[in-house]
Structure 1
């Protein structure tokens, strides 16, 4: 055996072992790099304007749902077993401008302002009864009928003014600023026209004839006048018990026509009050008769954005 053959036999096993070690090292390095890449590779974000895929929502059988109307006027579907409310976008109507029906309720009242003021010494005024119709809880046509009288001797005056019991009428309408809120509480502004035809007298007019003569007396009897006036009202209504409510009004009023007399102008006008007053008030006890009170059912609601419920036929 030559030296060359001996070297070849000695070198061959060593080369094979070295080759195996190199291959093993390459496999280990490659596996480590792949594992590291899986740990650090970020999740790809969706492109702008695209919607990421989400888990398919749970489906509800439409055959188990019934149609109802919620408090906002939307047509909804309610699961009769669970009571869950589902809003079907195909059935949903836009939010209504007025949530109460056209013919909503009728309210009748009695004005207690003048009887109360009489108790505090006022010498004129009796009272009236009135009614109004609620349209959508927003508009309120109004009508009133009442009677007034006067028997007043003004301070430091030399006469007594009298008006027998005389009727008056008022017609108008009010607007409720809280028309989509609880109808038991209202903030209203109104416009009314009042009309009356009445008689009046001025009695015991005393005229001082001078230092030496006795004063003389005379009366102006049974004058007739017709008057019309305009009222602007601003008031509140508050429920106190069941269908009973109380109401307060501040009233600004102004005469718009009045019959002239050769003896002057009447001091008192039924339904209006004394001629020189621009502001008065009104205090009413009222009772409400529901006509078409809206009823809604209370159900469980699926909150907006809940993607775990959808409908299918």
Structure 2
């Protein structure tokens, strides 16, 4: 009987120890679980951070992004279609950071025409020069060969020109007929004149708005509209030129158009 009581007490102690162990493990586990940090939602990026990231992307664009060589077709085409003057030009632009395009333009222009008052204006093909810069307004676009741009130019031309008028020869009576548009209201009649080789020098600025579009591989087409404002002019004493190479008609301001075929040199 004593043996049974002893066995019973031993088994009771064993069960009690197991229960105490489980309670201790449970109590130890509660603080550990309480110390785990709660997961917070990831905050959205601020506008300032986004701007910094965009600026970093822009900074990864290399400084040099190619050189563009263009030939204007509009001046030649307008003469073929019956215009009063002939003009042609070549442009060279360097793409920096796909944002700024410093540009140099060189061309030739001339005219041989009569105006409505019977005065003959003539100038042989003479040079004109432009220098300036364009700004790519589509910098964030991945396509580097097509963009809309705005620009500014300083331009000048130095040339010679002729101004003359001649009386009309009458084929029936064999004499000369006075030019009624040039008739002197005080003395009567009209006196022909012929002033050759007068010198002129003109400077102006241009505000440019244009677009360049890739058409095939390295070939592009470009259109531009230009507002031209004359800043200074030196002309002959016997009359102003009718046409200024690169500027157009001799007046305070002009609007011009270019339509160019452009080739991007391989990098």
Q: Is the 8 A contact 1:128 1:144 kept in 2?
A: yes
For structure 1, the residue ranges without an aligned partner over 5 or more in a row are 1-45, 54-91, 292-313
**What is the root-mean-square deviation in Å for CA atoms of aligned residues?**
2.6
Deviations 1:110-156 (A, max 9, x none): 011111111221121320111100001110000011110011212x2
Select the residue among 70, 79, 82 that pairs with 1:118: 79
Question: Aligned-pair distance for 1:94?
Answer: 6.7
CA distance in 2, matches of 1:142, 1:169: 11
Work out which of the two has the higher radius of gyration on C-alpha atoms and give 1 or 2. Answer: 1
CA distance in 1, matches of 2:106, 2:226: 17
Question: Aligned-pair distance for 1:263?
Answer: 2.1
CA distance in 2, matches of 1:100, 1:93: 12
For structure 2, the residue ranges without an aligned partner over 5 or more in a row are 1-33, 41-52, 167-178
SS in 2 for 1:166: strand
Alpha-carbon distance change, 114 to 94 in structure 1, aligned in 2, over 3 angstroms: closer
Q: Is the 8 A contact 1:233 1:251 kept in 2?
A: yes
CA distance in 1, matches of 2:235, 2:244: 13
Q: Is the 8 A contact 1:267 1:274 kept in 2?
A: yes
Alpha-carbon distance change, 176 to 163 in structure 1, aligned in 2, over 3 angstroms: same
Q: Is the 8 A contact 1:203 1:219 kept in 2?
A: yes
Q: Which has the higher helix share?
A: 2
Q: TM-score normalised to the size of structure 1?
A: 0.60
Question: Aligned-pair distance for 1:209?
Answer: 5.4
Q: Is the 8 A contact 2:100 2:134 kept in 1?
A: yes
* 1:219 alignment counterpart: 194
Alignment coverage as a number of residue pairs: 205
Question: Aligned-pair distance for 1:286?
Answer: 0.6
Q: Which runs of 4+ in 1 moved over 4 A?
A: 212-215
Alpha-carbon distance change, 93 to 230 in structure 1, aligned in 2, over 3 angstroms: closer
CA distance in 1, matches of 2:85, 2:207: 22
1:274 counterpart = 2:249 = yes
CA distance in 2, matches of 1:262, 1:216: 17
CA distance in 2, matches of 1:194, 1:253: 9
SS in 1 for 2:265: strand
Compare 104-113 and 217-226 and name the one that shifted more.
217-226
* 1:52 alignment counterpart: 39
Q: TM-score normalised to the size of structure 2?
A: 0.70
Question: Aligned-pair distance for 1:93?
Answer: 10
Deviations 1:72-129 (A, max 9, x none): xxxxxxxxxxxxxxxxxxxx99732355310110000001111111122112132011
Select the residue among 141, 147, 162 that pairs with 2:122: 162
SS in 1 for 2:78: helix
Q: Is the 8 A contact 1:233 1:252 kept in 2?
A: yes
* 2:9 alignment counterpart: none
